[in-house]
Amino acid sequence: MALGDAIEVQLGRVTSGISFDLDLGGIIAGRLTDAADGNPIPFATVVILISDGESTVVSGTTGNDGRYAIGGLAAGSYLVTTLAAGFRNELYDDIPCQGDLPISCAEDAGIVLEVSLGQTTADVDFALDRLGSISGTLTARDTGEPIAFADVD
């Protein structure tokens, strides 16, 4: 681990002139939509993984329009996956995930995106398939009254 210069700080005084020159990180941006109707998928999570698929770098959330932009990335190779409730999650580009966690999705071979400092890797878009659902009412056998706050697995 590289250590910088020690800075002496005195109580009650401002230590000024401590500046840093930082490289602008790369950005991955795109949009999540419902494959059936093209509507945006708001408040879904997009996860950026190191290209070996074994560790999450960062995640972000889509806006009302389904768009996301995740920045501050170091130059390198990344995989991108989704976590959207009610939809089959995917690894970019159009590879369905077999499980609910990003790491299970990364076990499949996705497209590795190359990110450069200060550049946006755009149009990393997903059209997700909606999952099926089951609905019904849970009632007490003796009274027929609905049972509130019950879990069904």
Report d(CA 146, CA 140) in Å as an integer: 6
Report d(CA 106, CA 54) in Å as an integer: 8
Facing residues of 12 across strands? none
Residue from 38, 105, 89, 84 nearest 65 by CA: 38
Q: What angle do CA 120, 129, 95 make, to 5 degrees?
A: 55
Tokens 């945006």, residue located: 40
DSSP for residue 75: S
- Give just the sign of the alpha carbon dihedral 70, 71, 72, 76: positive
Q: What is the pLDDT of residue 102?
A: 57
Full pLDDT tens readout for the chain, 153 residues:
467 788 888 999 998 888 888 778 999 999 999 999 999 999 999 999 887 656 778 999 999 999 999 999 999 999 999 999 999 999 998 888 876 665 556 555 778 999 999 999 999 999 999 998 888 888 889 998 988 888 887
Structure tokens at 118: 């200060």
Facing residues of 49 across strands? 56, 79
Residue from 109, 117, 124 nearest 48 by CA: 124
Residue from 3, 49, 54, 43 nearest 28 by CA: 49
